[in-house]
Amino acid sequence: MGTSSSILKNQKETLEARLKELFDEKAYSTALDKDQRMGRRIHGVDLKKPLNPEQAILMIDLLDHYSIISFPEQGQPTFELGFLERLANHFGAPLPHPKNYANYVEFKKSGEELKLLPKDKQTRSLCDKAFPGNIKCIDGAESPAVYVVTNLPGSGKNEEEQLASGLHWHTDIEFEPVPLSTSMFYVQCVPISREHQNGTWVPDVRPADGFYHPDSNKDLNSRRFDLPLNGETAYADTASAFEDLPKEKQKELEKTQVRRRLRVSDAGWLTPLVYRNPRTGRQSLHSPVWASRGKNVAPVQIDGFSETQTREYLDELEAHVLQQKYRYDHLHQPGDVTIWSNFATLHNAPPVKSKICSPEDARLMYRISCKGEPSYHLPRKDTDEWLAANISPPYQSNI
Ligand SMILES: [Fe+2]
């Protein structure tokens, strides 16, 4: 029997062979960062083409093994977001973003009929107004499943530049009973201008005091605030961080249940802190943070612990996960499709220019997130009951 590292090496060699066999003899993959166990750049795959079931299985396997996979040069300007949405459906059922609707709050409260934002209020239209004739959103940006991550709305050549700090370390939608499994970006524009003094896009702008709990340890805060300054998405590898813990600590964590909820007044439900990937058996820490989005999402509570005990326990884990050896800052390039596992990573949005007066500072990316089981054949076969319970706003891709 091989050691776990030799088994892993064999699995990775097999993945490389399947990549060539199923896509193209010239397809290959490279580490996103040679110092990290997480992350792979996959060359020679054209995501404009539909995947056959064997190719879809390989995609899921690649993400299961590497936690972040990035596909460069996806054919700008001919890429359409329908291609990304089709790809997303293999990983899970797309979860549309409430901000794409005109009346999501009223829909939730009183069952009002759900309406999409009128065309002139859609993020896509606001983006197109910023630098007309220069930057225009690609086709498919109007899909309810697409969340536009950008600094274009409200920007323009006569506007004043504004800066925004990074956010909390978090996992996307970890607070629902079926959490998001996967998120993905397609990148259209990345900033190319540089701030003069230190050669980065933005200065190291920090959030106001009180962003994190005042009793947070100094070392933990310095790790939290150590964010990239060129518009990169910051990631941390919660699978390797778990793997490196002493066996005793792993056993203790495996027994730990966390109460998750959206609002403090919600009863919430218990979920395991350690996620076990059902396909590989690989374990990872699922969102090991106490308060992931300040006041927007209620802090979690460990079953049987007080609020302070929970915070101290999770702060220690967050400090472990945010060590440099588990961190990877992904520098986006136009044409990239980048996919990450929400079960095996934490991430953070970087400090940005949130309003810009030059198209060189534009950051324009499209995110689709999904949940549930992978599907190697499309269309997916999610039942009406499952969709009603887990996909809100209600949505199914037209594929
Ligand atoms: Fe996020």
Domains present along the chain, CATH in parentheses: 17-229+334-390 (3.60.130)
Rounded distance, CA 80 to CA 142, Å? 11
CB-count exposure of residue 246 (10 Å: 0-12, 13-18, 19+): exposed
Q: Give the distance (Å) from ligand 1 centre to CA of residue 274.
A: 20
Q: Give the distance (Å) from ligand 1 centre to CA of residue 381.
A: 27
Residues paired with residue 338 on neighbouring β-strands, in sequence order: 70, 185
Q: Give the distance (Å) from ligand 1 centre to CA of residue 367.
A: 10
pLDDT at 1 over 60: no
Q: What is the mean pLDDT of residues 268-273?
A: 96
pLDDT confidence of residue 399: 86
Q: Which of these, 89, 26, 21, lies nearest to 58 by C-alpha position?
A: 21
- Residue pLDDT, tens place only, 31-82: 999 888 999 999 999 999 999 999 999 999 999 999 999 999 998 789 999 9
Ligand 1 ion: residues within 5 Å (CB) = 172
Residues paired with residue 274 on neighbouring β-strands, in sequence order: 285
Q: Give the distance (Å) from ligand 1 centre to CA of residue 247.
A: 30
Tokens of 200: 């980065």
Residue 117: pLDDT band by 50, 70, 90 thresholds?
Answer: very high
- How large a percentage of the chain has pLDDT more than 70? 98
Q: Give the distance (Å) from ligand 1 centre to CA of residue 360.
A: 24
- Residue pLDDT, tens place only, 287-302: 999 998 877 889 999 9
Rounded distance, CA 18 to CA 51, Å? 14
- Residue pLDDT, tens place only, 4-37: 667 777 888 899 999 999 999 999 999 999 888 9
pLDDT confidence of residue 3: 64
Q: Give the distance (Å) from ligand 1 centre to CA of residue 7.
A: 32
Q: Which residue has the tokens 């949130």?
A: 354
pLDDT at 231 over 50: yes
Tokens of 384: 């009406």
Q: Give the distance (Å) from ligand 1 centre to CA of residue 348.
A: 6
Residue 93: pLDDT band by 50, 70, 90 thresholds?
Answer: very high
- Residue pLDDT, tens place only, 119-157: 999 999 999 999 999 999 999 999 999 999 999 999 999
Q: What is the mean pLDDT of the chain?
A: 95
Residues 6+ apart with CB under 8 A from 376: 53, 56, 57, 60, 90
Rounded distance, CA 133 to CA 245, Å? 53
